[in-house]
Amino acid sequence: MFTGIVTDMGEVVSVAPRGELRRLRIACSYDAESIALGASIACSGVCLTVVVVAREGARTVFEVDAAAETLAVTTVGTWAEGTRINLERALKIGDELGGHIVTGHVDGVAKILSRDDFDDMCRFWFEAPHDLSRFIAKKGSVALDGVSLTVNDVEENRFSVLLIPHTLAVTTLGVRRAGDALNIEVDLMARYAARLSEAR
């Protein structure tokens, strides 16, 4: 479980195919001693399992494997050496829940339709996959590239979010532009509410 509050920006160091898997090496500022093998780290919203961790000079590098399903439904398949990604460690009991409950199980990919910068803030309009748009509600929550955000407006498959200067500075969303694709995870409670209403 995660909160959608990004705690580091990492960089993909290398990508190596391994049959249907891809092994990714990711550099970060986390203390290597604090990352256990088997730990879950949300990488731009995608929950991936650490299989190797090492200290390389001044930085920590951890390795994860992305399976065929992950490569098919997320942006991980487009990552290459130098790609910057948002990172979040798994939630611990007693941690502050500053965003919303995020599982790291990405539902699909949303596309940025427009970006409007003003007063050091930014408004994005996104297009969500049609089958996910029913889970997106005004004033509801959505995770985009692992960042917990509040939905401002919804128009059919389109929705907008407003980013404050802090979010633009400490996540990769600050450099995103129209046409970019981001991992999207809809709100867990919205998904269960829809499932319950269908069962009636």
Mean pLDDT on 137-145: 95
User: What are the residues whose beta carbons fall under 8 Å from the beta carbon of 10, sequence distance 6 or more?
Assistant: 26, 27, 28, 43, 84, 85, 86, 87
Ranges of H-type helices in 35-95: 68-73
Whole-prediction pTM: 0.93
Average pLDDT over residues 27-40: 96
Q: Give the integer Cα–Cα distance in Å for 96 and 73.
A: 30
Q: With bands split at pLDDT 50, 70 and 90, how would you rate the model's confidence at 96?
A: confident
- Both tokens of 163, joined, read 């980013």
**Rounded CA separation 121/149 (Å):** 14
pLDDT of residue 188: 86
Q: In the prediction, which pLDDT does 98 show?
A: 84
Reported as a pLDDT band with limits 50, 70 and 90, residue 197 is confident
What are the catalytic residues?
Answer: 2, 40, 47, 49, 67, 105, 150
> Counting beta carbons within 10 angstroms of the beta carbon of residue 87, is it exposed (0 to 12), middle (13 to 18) or buried (19 or more)?
buried
**Can you tell me the mean pLDDT for 54-73?**
95
Residues 174, 34 contacting (CB under 8 angstroms) = no
Question: Which residues lie across from 88 on neighbouring strands?
Answer: 42
Q: What is the rounded CA–CA span in Å between residue 152 and residue 159?
A: 7
pLDDT (average), residues 161-171: 97
How confident is the model at residue 54, as a pLDDT?
Answer: 96
Read off the DSSP letter of residue 91: P
Whether the pLDDT of residue 4 is over 90: the answer is yes
pLDDT category at 114 given cuts 50, 70, 90 is very high
